[in-house]
Amino acid sequence: MAFEDIFPQPLRQALESVTRIPTYGERGAGRLVYNLLKLDPPERKEVVEKLLEAAEKLKPCKECYLITDREVCAVCSDPKRSKRFICVVEESQDAYYIERLERYRGVYHVLQGRIAPLEGISPQDLTVEKLLERIEKNRVKEVIIATNPNAEGEATANYLIKLIGDRFKNVKTSRISYGLQFGSLLEFVDELSLEKSFENRK
Ligand SMILES: [Zn+2]
């Protein structure tokens, strides 16, 4: 029996296309595709349709890069949120953990990654220029850096704090990883310690 018969083309195609998603290697793709197939066909179809709808409708906000279904996201277009406070996160989903606290009344800026020299990711690959533009344009008072509390997140935070400090003398920068467990990712940090770190930012 040929390899192609054991692993039919639709299966191979599905696996190969999932590996194009960042962080999904062969194992990740296998987990997603094989587990999807455990669902009943109608449920399976619904999951795929929801993904397709998300893929077609969602894009980064043209101001802050939060994922949105409009040109400008709900946070940026909310007149009650101050544009003079910017909370910098690595990825759009990180803002979710901060929003859940229902305390922050400023806006966000998504870097779309972090500085990682070993992977060849430099500040030019992130949305740093746009961040500087926004700080200038909105006469920002404080930039709260909420990159992940691991080595790369720390390095990214330190880079931004220096860059902003050198360029804007009157802009305060603060870091909210205070008290968080070193090496943990923002999404795994429980609400209480995240809330504490927000209060204790320095
Ligand atoms: Zn926005």
**Which domain CATH number covers 121?**
3.40.1360.10
Are residue 69 and residue 169 in the same domain, yes or no? Answer: yes
Domain that holds residue 35: 3-57
Q: What is the pLDDT of residue 179?
A: 46
- What's the whole-number mean pLDDT along residues 69-86? 96
Q: Residue 36's closest CA among 17, 59, 55?
A: 17
- What's the whole-number mean pLDDT along residues 98-111? 90
Q: How far is the CA of 111 from the centre of ligand 1 (A)?
A: 12
Domain count, the chain: 2
Integer CA distances (angstroms), 187 to 100, 105, 145, 177, 200, in order? 12, 20, 15, 13, 19
Q: Are strands 67-68 and 59-60 parallel, antiparallel or unpaired?
A: antiparallel
- What's the whole-number mean pLDDT along residues 106-114? 97
Are residue 100 and residue 52 in the same domain, yes or no? Answer: no
Are residue 161 and residue 97 in the same domain, yes or no? Answer: yes
Q: What is the pLDDT of residue 100?
A: 84
| Ion ligand 1: protein residues whose beta carbon lies under 5 Å | 61, 63-64, 66, 73, 76
- Asked if residue 52 lies in contact with residue 107, where contact means CB atoms within 8 angstroms, the answer is no
Q: How far is the CA of 60 from the centre of ligand 1 (A)?
A: 8
CATH of the domain at 36: 1.10.8
Are residue 193 and residue 143 in the same domain, yes or no? Answer: yes
Are residue 93 and residue 186 in the same domain, yes or no? Answer: yes
Are residue 94 and residue 51 in the same domain, yes or no? Answer: no
- What's the whole-number mean pLDDT along residues 47-67? 98
Is the pLDDT at 178 greater than 50? The verdict is: no
